[in-house]
Amino acid sequence: MCTKVLAIVFTIIALILAILVTVWHQQGLALIIYISRFFDVMIPILAVGALLKYLFHGTSCDYKKD
**Count of alpha carbons within 13 angstroms of residue 60, beta-carbon side:** 1
3 CA to centre of own chain: 13
Q: If you average pLDDT over every residue of the chain, what do you get?
A: 78
Q: Is this prediction's pTM over 0.75?
A: no
pLDDT at 11: 86
**Count of alpha carbons within 13 angstroms of residue 65, beta-carbon side:** 2
Radius of gyration of the chain (CA): 18
Q: From the CB of residue 21, how many other CB atoms can be counted at a distance below 10 Å?
A: 13
What are the residue ranges spanned by the domains of the chain? 2-57
Judge whether residue 47 has pLDDT over 70.
yes
